[in-house]
Structure 1
Amino acid sequence: MKAAKALSRMLGAIWFRRMRVEGPPLPDGPVLLLLNHPNALLDPMVAAALLPRTPRFVAKATLWKQPVLRPFLAFFNPIPVHRAQEGGDADATAKTFAAVHKAFAKGDIVGLFPEGISHGMPDLAPLKTGAARLALSYGGELSVVPAGLVYGERRLFRQGVLLRLGEAVPFEDLKSHGLEPDKVRAFTARIREALKPLTLHGGEAERLKLAQNLAWMLADASTAVSDLDAFRRRVQELLPKLEAMTPEDRRRLRRRVRAAQRWLRQNGLRPDQVGHPYPFQEIAAWIPRAGLRLLLAPLLLPFALLFAPPVWIVDRAVRALAREVDMVATTGILAGLALILAWTAGLGWLLHHEGLAWWLAPLSWIPAFLGLRLFERLKEDVQAVRGFRARRAKAAPRLLQAKRMLLEAFPELG
């Protein structure tokens, strides 16, 4: 599993700009880790990269039929589950339970997505009862831990991701009842109630989108580097307030938020830049760092540009062809990995053809990645200059007043 963690961290560092785990530490001993499933194969990769112990995930057996996934499955050593609708039978289910219980007996973490599907729906899908049955049928000590995956913008390259761990779900009062259907349903309901607050799921789509837009209006940075745990908390606290509002009040609020977003787009600003005082100490500290980045740009950016064509091709192709929002990033990372390897092989051939060392091609990945990081920081420098120049824009006081009114109406945003 060390190889799985190393691969997950490498791919995660490339795909995401910021990866964080928050919440209480995982208990010692066997753990059944239950996560929401908004981003297909990236979800187990994020968990493997961020957790101190690498989980073994329960995965549908049909994944082994896809040749492109077999190398990854070999790394992660998941436990296959044969579903009834995919040709599984009672014996296959018993074998899956036995394999999971064997992992528990070894003290492993077993990861499971109780929704049973990856999806882009606003609310959690109805939970399957498999997680409850796995826990209730195990005879030893076991911690059932919910965890929420929150993505800054799951369809885009170089965004942020948060893994939010929750407290273990109690079920000692149910264990003595075995697999009685009503107890299984009761435990499944507990799991859902524990899981939902850790995520961005929130019922009706339009109301959830409004809550997210409101939360971003008070975010501390861009979606790539913002505090996603604070964002998640704000969204979950806003949802019941928005539900209590009349439809007309929600429409008025939505219009105000859209007007503010439109002004920000027109001026190329982020919400956190409106009303920012730009103190002298901050500017004095920023100038030498920005100058150093400008000096490094001619050294590193050419390497980033060298690998820009395959990244651009994959980005455009995936956006055009991926039909499901939860599959965009997975398709992108698989296609991008394949194309960059092919691109590197081509560069190696050209170097060899010119009498140079072919191994310089894969070695160039290191300065290319550093160039990508530098490019992101230079974009932030440009954004900072734009915000400084717009600090006296005519509409800025109105937007600042609107932010203050939002804080008065929704203290949760503070």
Structure 2
Amino acid sequence: MTQRKGSPTPWSYTLIRLLFKFVLKIFYGTIVVENAHLIPETGRPCIVCANHSNSLTDALLLVTSIPSKKRNMLRLTAKATQFGHKTFTSWLIESAGTVPIKRRKDAADGSADNTDAMSKLVEALETGDAVCLFPEGMSRYHPTIAPLKTGVARLVSDVLSRNRDNSDFEISVLTCSITYMHRQHFRSDVLVTFHPAMTFRPKDNTELLAPVDYNNIRQLTARLQNVISSGTIDSPSWDLIRTAKLAARIYVPLGTRMSLGDYVRVIRSFLDAFKECQDIPGDTNSNNCQEATSDLVAHAKLCQDLKVYQDQLARWGIKDDRIRRPLPRHTILSRMTIRLAWSLALFTISLPGLLLWLPVFATTFYAVHNFKKTGPIFDTWDEIAQYKLIYGLMSGICVWWLTVFLTWPLAPLTFILVPAVMWMTLRWFEDAVSAFRAFTALRRLLRVGKATLKGMHERREDLHSRVMNLAVHSIGLPENPESFFVEAGGREKGRVKGRWDSTARYFSIKRRRKRDWNETLRLYDKVDYPEDAQVDL
């Protein structure tokens, strides 16, 4: 294949990539990128397509996750209604060379002509660029991936058809699965998984050349959906996600000693098993069908029992780990004393820096609070992270420059010192919140009572046995998860590999040691989802 150079990188794109790489690393505790080596290099026409659950944040995440050494630029697309406004978001989108896409739902007459947009994308691909498309066609706060539109497949067909006489021409489709542990919460974690690129050539894929049978377009679209869905948590309901996460924690209670990628894939395995038992077949005449139905009934009963168990834990405000490893009363009291003292000490040293963070937190809270009033959860919550990122960035820059201005004689020092103090404050504040969260959980544990805890422990033992049976005999997961997943994977961001690494990471200035991939900067364990987010779309 003839190597193309690709379009030159605009200075604004370079600025945006550097700026938001910094901002995303502050907002999200850990961003793990898997399989970056699979990304086609600059000069090879490439369509990057991913699931779309977090509005503009998804695009920024892809821009910063693709190494500049692999691709100098990712040409983005965005809904046309975000262009032409006198806002920072609009400037951001336009400056990055983003192509506007019209949507039928935004037009008064329900029509949308994207001929010009598709032409620009085709030209960019023929130049050797990478373009980003979100084939769901929308971003919504929902637990499942929406049926994909056929735009990516049609674009592949158009490009191949235009270059049908070039035997060396090829175009790649790079699928990507984005998984947010909690997409809108400060200091939660994100997994970005790239899948092997699908490569298409005019001479090898004649079924996609014009005039094309639309069934071939649909088949390629379905293939894309299967690959993207397989790498993330895709569920028909929030309840199933909640239950699958609990099953994963019971099966392999390693926290961040296992990689984030493995954790997501284990959740996905349990989720698939629970989805199968939602619709038990009615015809049970054959022996094979009776056996399969019996297994599905058992899985459905386990799913229900796990939900009841998680509901009880949520009412008490404690985590499964407190039930798994019961603690004597004197140990609980001593740990409460240590956690409270440590959290107070960290809060104390964080106070000066928190004064700098206060305007940032207040601005983002006010902006998000007002934005939530503009629509229902499923239509607004997918943009919360975007609002927090942008308003946090702008208010943070204002605090930084205002502090430098007020300390003008010492400006060269405060120019460097202010962001350093703000970062270390965030680092200490995270540990302070974590310590206080542990203190409150231990306090709640004391209020439950020995007899009740013993009953819950026995219930958990039964659930553990049934979860292991499902994992090993039905799903095919390893029967020794606590050793298998410690050894699997490499040294990823946010992961701890042992006791010494865990202790050393606790005092790291780069990031705090997390015990659980489910953690956020909250005084409670985030396990529930808004009920009305389950609106059928």
TM-score (norm. length: structure 1) = 0.80
Aligned amino acid, residue 38 of structure 2: P
Q: Which stretch of the first structure deviates more once superposed, 147-156 or 172-181? A: 172-181
Quick one: which of 200, 203, 209 aligns to 2:233?
A: 200
Matches for 1:141-180 after TM superposition, within 5 Å: 141-169=170-198, 172-173=204-205, 174-180=207-213
Within 5 Å, give how 1:23-172 maps onto structure 2.
Answer: 23=35, 25-28=38-41, 29-52=44-67, 53=71, 54-66=73-85, 67-83=87-103, 86=106, 93-138=114-159, 139=163, 140-169=169-198, 172=204
- Partner secondary structure for residue 78 of structure 2: strand
The residue aligned with 2:386 is 330
Q: Secondary structure at the match of 1:38?
A: coil
Name the SS of the counterpart of 2:145 in structure 1.
coil
The aligned residue for residue 302 of structure 1 is 352
Question: Residues 149 and 364 from structure 1, CA distance in 2 versus in 1: closer, same or farther, beyond 3 angstroms?
Answer: same
Q: Would the aligned equivalents of 2:78 and 2:99 in 1 still touch at CA under 8 Å?
A: yes
**Bigger CA drift: 195-204 or 107-116?**
195-204
Give unpaired runs (5+ residues) of structure 1. 278-290
What is the percentage of aligned positions where both structures have the same residue? 22
1:315 aligns with 365
- Which deviates further from its counterpart, 292-301 or 105-114? 292-301
Secondary structure of 2:139's match? coil
Q: Distance in 1 between matches of 2:111 and 2:440?
A: 63
Superposition map of 1:218-257 within 5 A:
218=252, 220-221=254-255, 227-245=259-277, 250=300, 253-257=303-307
On the 8 A contact 1:220/1:226 being kept in 2, the answer is: yes
Question: For the Cα contact (< 8 Å) 1:97–1:134, is it kept in 2?
Answer: yes
CA distance in 1, matches of 2:243, 2:105: 37
SS at match of 2:146: coil
Residue type matched to 1:325 in 2?
W
Contact 2:405–2:411 (8 Å) recurs in 1: no
Shift of 1:200: 1.4
Q: In 2, distance between residues paired with 1:160 and 1:336?
A: 18
Distance 1:136 1:405, change over 3 A: same
> What are the Cα deviations for residues 240-286 of structure 1, in whole angstroms up to 9, with x where unaligned?
32134368753663343442464377364463994499xxxxxxxxx
Aligned position for 1:284? none
Q: Which protein shows a greater Rg? A: 2
In 2, Cα distance between equivalents of 1:31 and 1:110: 6
> Residue 16 of structure 1 aligns with which residue?
28
Q: Distance in 2 between matches of 1:72 and 1:276?
A: 52
* Alpha carbons of structure 1 residues 216 and 327: separation in structure 2 relative to 1, 3 Å: farther
Deviations 1:68-117 (A, max 9, x none): 31231244221222345556999963322222122223322211100110
Deviates more, 1:258-267 or 1:332-341: 258-267
- Please tell me whether the aligned partners of residues 49 and 173 of structure 2 are also in contact (alpha carbons under 8 angstroms): yes
If the length of structure 2 is used for normalisation, what is the TM-score? 0.63
SS at match of 2:243: helix
CA shift at 1:144, angstroms? 0.6
- Check whether the contact 1:133–1:179 (CA below 8 A) recurs between aligned residues: no
The CA deviation string for residues 192-233 of structure 1, in whole angstroms up to 9 with x for no partner, is 1221112211335543443234335445337xx974322321
Distance 2:119 2:382 in 1: 31
